[in-house]
């Protein structure tokens, strides 16, 4: 008799492990599921769990008895309320809960399809008795009425001893100055009885809390977004949050940050900060803020700063010792308005950069920036060799260059390949890592650029899915 083989013969213990690993793959690197500039959620809720539980009777029996598979409660439509009730019946009090509540404005609400005021009340009635098990809580509201429901429940639900990630999002079309006044001048309320001993990640989008709350400390990730100046944290509260979070690794500021302050005599050191993301900020305010920071381990810098002139900000990054740009690993420029000379000076200073992502369609004078990447600098990489001339960005491993024509891309590749062919000193030191040919990535142009298409066919360029022609693409394709 033939032996039965395949996945159906896996031991229950091994099958259970596969299910758990599959569910974990749905999580993202970011602790936050909502983005200020996007109307989508960064992770699905329980697609994998539901899929494997419907394959066959045996798999369903195994899946239903793995409590940790059913701890993700995502509410994005009314049917998810009943689903969450079923999930909760399959978990035990030993397992923490990850919760997302994604609502819409009353004007956009479709009964039976989306979530709004009445559904919010039902959801809070379901999840509040389990507040002691919350590990992550993400809430998006799009109206003042929904915000009031959230304030009422979060101010009366009691402590959340396991909560590690808190994301509160409130943004709406205020329509009148009076509505804006009501929404932004209302005093914040105390939430969770100020008792959040495990809190590590905080994201506040259009929401202000009592900025001196005792739980705003020991943070690992902090995001502040979409705050008018009147509800931003005072500088002394900002100073306290950073100084009491020595292990802060990620800081995101999107049209937010502390209120303006005079120059300080001493800097705020954030010793373990690795990532700094800056979006839609006032240039003068941002310049003053950067002068107050000391970021010795900064590894990733993301800039999305259009419309205003940020030349002074770029110059601060390039010249300030407390912002060690020479050791930066990753630079992402989604948009940046500044003098080309300032940006080229910044590129010359990035001697340790491994990853560059730059949208040439959204910077001033892409010709000058591209030409700067064809320059060389002199480096001293090893005690046993003399100085050596290498390209700007000598340790670049990955170049994600968007909005740039194929001819310029080819020139950059040929330029880098010529230097990569020069042998190092042969002793196996750091000089061997200089001037390697990076992996070039572009966005597809659908056959509009024959040179770029040829580079892709030759395998010298990787083409990712085109997200649409950016403004200024036609101008960026014009070669000198």
Residue 238 has pLDDT above 90, yes or no: yes
Tell me which H or E stretch contains 32: none
392/376 Cα distance (integer angstroms): 5
Tell me which H or E stretch contains 15: helix 12-24
Q: How far is CA 2 from CA 5, 202, in A?
A: 9, 57
101/94 Cα distance (integer angstroms): 22
Share of the chain above pLDDT 90, in %: 47
The pLDDT tens digits for 191-236 are 999 999 999 999 999 998 899 999 999 999 999 999 988 889 999 8
The top-scoring range by mean pLDDT among 36-50, 171-185, 267-281, 362-376 is 267-281
The pLDDT tens digits for 421-470 are 655 554 444 445 565 788 888 886 666 788 888 888 888 888 887 654 44
Mean pLDDT confidence for 113-141: 95
292/322 Cα distance (integer angstroms): 9
Residue 32 has pLDDT above 80, yes or no: yes
What are the beta bridge partners of residue 303? Answer: 278, 333
Q: Can you give the pLDDT at residue 435?
A: 57
Q: Can you give the pLDDT at residue 469?
A: 45
The pLDDT tens digits for 300-352 are 999 999 989 999 999 999 988 888 888 899 999 999 999 999 999 999 999 89
Residue 2 has pLDDT above 60, yes or no: no
Averaged pLDDT score across all residues of the chain: 83
Q: Residue 42 burial (CB < 10 Å; 0-12/13-18/19+)?
A: middle
Share of the chain above pLDDT 70, in %: 82
Q: Can you give the pLDDT at residue 265?
A: 64
* Rounded to 5°, angle at Cα 97 from 92 and 103: 135
Of 242, 246, 204, residue with least CA distance to 223: 204
Residue 175 has pLDDT above 70, yes or no: no
101/256 Cα distance (integer angstroms): 23
The pLDDT tens digits for 137-153 are 999 999 888 999 999 99
Q: Can you give the pLDDT at residue 38?
A: 66
Q: Can you give the pLDDT at residue 71?
A: 86
Mean pLDDT confidence for 40-48: 62
Map tokens 């001339």 to a residue.
Answer: 389
Return the SS3 of 352: coil
Map tokens 């923490």 to a residue.
Answer: 96
Dihedral sign for Cα atoms in the order 139, 141, 144, 148: negative
Q: Which of 46-55, 368-377, 431-440 has the lowest mean pLDDT?
A: 431-440
Residue 40 has pLDDT above 70, yes or no: no
Mean pLDDT confidence for 150-165: 96
Q: Which residue has the higher pLDDT, 448 or 373?
A: 373
Q: Can you give the pLDDT at residue 322?
A: 83
Q: Which residue has the higher pLDDT, 185 or 189?
A: 189
Asked whether the beta carbons of 442 and 403 are under 8 A apart, the reply is no
Q: Which residue has the higher pLDDT, 9 or 372?
A: 372
Q: Which of 103-117, 170-184, 382-396, 419-433 has the lowest mean pLDDT?
A: 419-433
Residue 479 pLDDT grade (very low, low, confident, very high; cuts 50, 70, 90): very low
Residue 173 pLDDT grade (very low, low, confident, very high; cuts 50, 70, 90): low
Mean pLDDT confidence for 52-73: 78
Q: Can you give the pLDDT at residue 58?
A: 77
Q: Which of 176-180, 246-250, 254-258, 322-326 has the lowest mean pLDDT?
A: 176-180
**3-class SS string, 254-300:** ECCCCCCCCCCCCCEECCCCCEEEEECCCHHHHHHHHHCEECCCCCE
Residues 6+ apart with CB under 8 A from 380: 387, 388
Q: Can you give the pLDDT at residue 182?
A: 57
Of 185, 204, 187, 123, residue with least CA distance to 157: 123
Residue 473 has pLDDT above 50, yes or no: no
The pLDDT tens digits for 401-424 are 998 888 898 999 988 888 776 555
Tell me which H or E stretch contains 442: strand 439-443
Asked whether the beta carbons of 318 and 346 are under 8 A apart, the reply is yes
Mean pLDDT confidence for 160-183: 75
Q: Can you give the pLDDT at residue 325?
A: 87
Of 338, 347, 352, 212, residue with least CA distance to 278: 338
396/329 Cα distance (integer angstroms): 9
């Amino acid at each position: 008799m033939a032996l039965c083989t395949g996945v159906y013969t896996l031991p229950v213990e091994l099958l259970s492990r596969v299910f758990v690993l599959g569910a974990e793959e749905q999580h993202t690197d970011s602790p936050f599921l909502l983005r200020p500039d996007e109307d989508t959620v960064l992770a699905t809720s329980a697609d994998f769990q539901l899929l494997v539980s419907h394959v066959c009777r045996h798999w369903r029996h195994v899946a239903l008895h793995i409590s940790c598979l059913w701890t993700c409660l995502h509410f994005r439509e009314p049917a998810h309320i009943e689903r969450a009730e079923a999930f909760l019946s399959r978990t035990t009090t030993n397992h923490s809960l990850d919760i997302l509540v994604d609502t819409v404005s009353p004007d956009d609400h479709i009964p039976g399809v989306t979530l709004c005021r009445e559904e919010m009340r039902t959801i809070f009635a379901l999840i509040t008795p389990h507040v002691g098990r919350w590990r992550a809580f993400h809430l998006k509201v799009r109206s003042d009425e929904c915000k009031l429901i959230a304030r009422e429940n979060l101010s009366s639900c009691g402590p959340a001893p396991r909560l590690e990630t808190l994301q509160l999002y409130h943004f709406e079309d205020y329509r009148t100055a009076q509505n804006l006044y009501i929404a932004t001048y209302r005093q914040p309320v105390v939430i969770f009885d100020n008792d959040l001993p495990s809190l590590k990640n905080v994201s506040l989008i259009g929401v202000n809390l009592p900025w001196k709350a005792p739980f705003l400390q020991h943070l690992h990730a902090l995001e502040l977004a979409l705050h008018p100046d009147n509800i931003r944290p005072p500088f002394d509260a900002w100073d306290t949050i950073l100084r009491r979070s020595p292990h802060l690794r990620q800081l995101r500021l999107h049209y937010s940050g502390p209120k303006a302050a005079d120059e300080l005599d001493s800097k705020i050191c954030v010793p373990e900060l690795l990532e700094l993301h800056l979006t839609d900020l006032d240039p003068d305010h941002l310049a003053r803020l950067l002068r107050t920071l000391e970021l010795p381990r900064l590894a990733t810098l993301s800039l999305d700063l259009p419309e205003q002139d940020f030349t002074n900000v770029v110059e601060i990054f390039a010249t300030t010792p407390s912002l060690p740009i020479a050791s930066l690993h990753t630079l992402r420029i989604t948009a940046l308005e500044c003098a080309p000379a300032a940006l080229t000076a910044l590129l010359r200073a990035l001697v340790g950069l491994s990853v560059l992502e730059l949208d040439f369609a959204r910077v001033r004078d892409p010709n000058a920036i591209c030409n700067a990447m064809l320059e060389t600098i002199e480096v001293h990489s090893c005690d046993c060799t003399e100085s050596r001339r290498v390209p700007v960005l000598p340790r670049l491993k990955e170049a994600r260059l968007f909005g740039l024509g194929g001819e310029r891309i080819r020139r950059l590749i040929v330029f880098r390949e010529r230097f990569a062919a020069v042998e190092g000193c042969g002793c196996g030191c750091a000089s061997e890592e200089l001037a390697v040919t990076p992996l070039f990535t572009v966005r597809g142009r659908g056959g509009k650029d024959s040179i770029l298409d040829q580079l892709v066919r030759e395998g010298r360029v990787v083409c990712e899915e085109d997200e649409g022609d950016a403004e200024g693409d036609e101008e960026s394709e014009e070669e000198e």
